[in-house]
Amino acid sequence: MQKDGAGRSWGLGQHRCMELQLGLALPPPPLIPIETFDLNSYGNYETREALGTNALSWPLLKLGPADNDINNIHHHNSSSSSSSSGGGAGCKKRSFDEAPFFDEKRNVPKTLHLLLWTNQPNDEDDDPSNVLHENSSSAIFKNDGEGLVGWPPVKTWRKKVHHQIPNGGAENNRLPAVENGIGGRASKSTYVKVKMEGVPIARKIDLSVHHSFEGLTNTLMRMFGISDGNRKSFKLTYQDREGDWLLAEDVPWRTFIRSLKCLKLIRSRG
């Protein structure tokens, strides 16, 4: 198979820059008939095996792993069948010192040729991925305990609104409740985690809209779908900053708000 889907646009790349058209006049590759790569076969879970094998033999580009050499693709002479397995991982030494990708006739600065590794010392003994690993540990964990910087890609704005309390958040003293009306400090968080006994998924509740146990309990009942009749069989407990679990109704509202870290609804016995 001679065609090379990428080759057509290789070096051409940008249709806007007329002057960069390749003089090599590669014939446009025939359109790949659908049958050779039938994504329809991947539609069902039953054909997972097909998925498994076909995924690795992408017929379009002849990326034989043995000589995962750009030049093969470029010169269209890769008649090797797709014996590819494992993708491009084996590529360690790639020589770009063949003829330039861009034809001489193109109106590009001559100096562009210097970009093609003829003059570079062969310092690519390092697998590029190794280089990444050397740096990745510092790059990825730069943010000291918070994990990756900027990942997941959620806007800062959104993160601030949903102030997430880390699991078992001992290190961050995220004091939750701020009384309603105290405004605008950027790092204020009024959300508290609430768990109900027997329910695996925790919820979050904004304490600043509540001013009494009554209101808070009403919201919690609604949140967990507890009917009025069943209300009596639940007690509201909270964990304070010292880590102790206390009954909410034992303390005044203000004390509760100031010292609580998270809430739990437990079934009352008896």
Partner 1 sequence: MQKKMAYSFPDEVLEHVFSFIQSDKDRNAVSLVCKSWYEIERWCRRKVFIGNCYAVSPRMVIRRFPEVRSIKLKGKPHFADFNLVPDGWGGYVLPWIAEMAGAYPWLEEIRLKRMVVTDESLELIAKSFKNFKVLVLFSCEGFSTDGLAAIAASCKNLRELDLRESEVDDLSGHWLAHFPETCTSLVSLNISCLRSDEVSFSALERLVGRCPNLRSLRLNRAVTLDKIANILRRAPQLVDFGTGYYAAELQPDVFSNLAGAFSSCKELKSLSGFWDVVPAYLPALYSICPRLTSLNLSYATIQSPDLIKLVSHCPRLQRLLVLDYVEDSGLEELASSCKDLQELRVFPSDPFGAEPNVSLTEQGLVAVSLGCPKLRSVLYFCRRMSNAALVTIAQNRPNLTRFRLCIIEPKTPDYLTLEPLDVGFGAIVEHCKDLSRLSLSGLLTDHVFEYIGTYGKKLEMLSVAFAGDSDLGLHHVLSGCESLRKLEIRDCPFGDKALLANAAKLETMRSLWMSSCAVSFGACKLLGQKMPKLNVEVIDETEPPDSRPESCPVDKLYIYRSVAGPRFDMPPFVWTMDEAVRILH
Q: Could you give the 3-state DSSP secondary structure of residue 240?
A: strand
Q: How far is the CB of 270 from partner 1 (least distance, A)?
A: 30
Q: How far is the CB of 71 from partner 1 (least distance, A)?
A: 11
Which C-beta is closer to partner 1: that of 191 or that of 238? 191
Which C-beta is closer to partner 1: that of 59 or that of 175? 59
Residues in CB range of 228: below 8 A, 6 or more apart: 221
Which C-beta is closer to partner 1: that of 50 or that of 268? 50
Interatomic CA distance for residues 76 and 62, integer angstroms: 9
Q: How far is the CB of 255 from partner 1 (least distance, A)?
A: 21
Q: How far is the CB of 124 from partner 1 (least distance, A)?
A: 8
Task: Report which of 15, 7, 96, 1 is spatially closest to residue 57, judged by C-alpha positions.
Answer: 1
Q: How far is the CB of 246 from partner 1 (least distance, A)?
A: 24
Strand order in the sheet with 191-196: 203-206, 191-196, 260-267, 234-240, 245-247
Which C-beta is closer to partner 1: that of 103 or that of 246? 103
Which C-beta is closer to partner 1: that of 88 or that of 252? 88
Residue 203, phi then psi, degrees to nearest 5: -120, 175
Interatomic CA distance for residues 83 and 80, integer angstroms: 7
DSSP 74: H
Interatomic CA distance for residues 66 and 87, integer angstroms: 10
Residue type, 1: M
